[in-house]
Structure 1
Amino acid sequence: MQIWVDADACPGVIREVLIKASQRTLVALTFVANQRISVPHNQHITSLQVSAGFDVADDEIVKRCNANDLVITDDIPLAAEILAKDGLAVNFRGEAYDKATIKATLTMRDFMDQIRASGERTGGPKSFSARDKMNFANQIDRILATR
């Protein structure tokens, strides 16, 4: 198993959780972004900078991800591609994406995009909380314990 992180929008507290988990379990961890991501000197932790552009980091993650790898992302289309490759995908709040519901999740995402495009204000996502960090850390621990 390897952990891939869609790091362009990854909260700093989530990076810290992932770095500690990788150091504890020795699971390979790669942050992929179109900017430089600073990571500790550790043979299991790397950063991959890709060129700027729409979905460049996502495409690189899909290209490199194997079955049973774990991808950390809030990007629902990326999660769908990872699930199609028999990988695992978890968002920054610790919610695992599921093959059985990913199509409905994509449909809802597209519907909300259409509403926003029409000028409707939807309020955006709720702010990231300490509880979200705890949920994420617990989910990562569960996944890594079963690998």
Structure 2
Amino acid sequence: MNLPRILVDADACPVKEEIYRVAYRREVPVTLVSNAYLRVPQHPLINRIVVDGGFDAADDWIADHVDGAAVVITSDILLADRCLKGGAGAVLGANGRPFTTSSIGNAVAVRAIMSDLRAGGDRVGGPPPFSKEDRSRFLSALDEALVRLKR
């Protein structure tokens, strides 16, 4: 059995510090994947992968490295879908809400509708501002996912 690990879609991730905190406490390795160089703590549990290439290069790297021991952190609905189909142990949004096989279809559909509306010139709002409650929910959800995978 593979040991749990965290894969992070890191370019726009607002909860990196929370991820480090949980990883240190649970002694779980973290890989941050980005298209650009990011500063990360010098720690044996923290690994940085900088991909070059196309727009989806970071997503491709993450999707190619997913298995049942991986907890993926992303706000990208299409990447979440790929990771769930790839057998990820858990996929969490930065707001702490889990993406699941039963919820991802609806999320992909809503994303497509909103994209069509924006392409047609409609003004549609984005996600609500990131809040303290989102941060707290994320910490709890990540901790719970790691505990579940260690069993």
TM-score tier (shorter): over 0.9
AA paired with 1:58? D
Q: How far 1:66 moved relative to its partner? A: 1.6
Ranked by relative contact order (alpha carbons within 8 Å, sequence separation 6 or more), the top structure is 2
AA paired with 1:3? I
- Partner deviation per Cα, 1:64-116 (whole Å, 9 max, x = no partner): 12223110001111101111122121001000001012112111110110001
Instruction: Name the structure 1 match of 2:33.
Output: 32
Between the two proteins, the alignment pairs up a number of residues equal to 145
4+ residue runs of structure 1 moved beyond 2 angstroms? none
Instruction: Name the structure 2 match of 1:97.
Output: 99
- Partner deviation per Cα, 1:8-36 (whole Å, 9 max, x = no partner): 1111xx10000011111111101100111
CA distance in 1, matches of 2:53, 2:10: 13
AA paired with 1:7? A
The two structures have a TM-score, normalised by structure 2, of 0.92
* 1:9 match: secondary structure: coil
Instruction: Name the structure 2 match of 1:85.
Output: 86
* 1:8 match: secondary structure: coil
CA distance in 2, matches of 1:5, 1:114: 28
| Equivalent residue runs for 1:1-147 within 5 Å | 1-11=4-14, 14-87=15-88, 88-146=90-148, 147=150
CA distance in 2, matches of 1:132, 1:117: 29
Gaps spanning 5+ residues in structure 2: where? none
Gaps spanning 5+ residues in structure 1: where? none
**Root-mean-square deviation (Å):** 1.0
CA distance in 2, matches of 1:34, 1:113: 23
The two structures have a TM-score, normalised by structure 1, of 0.94
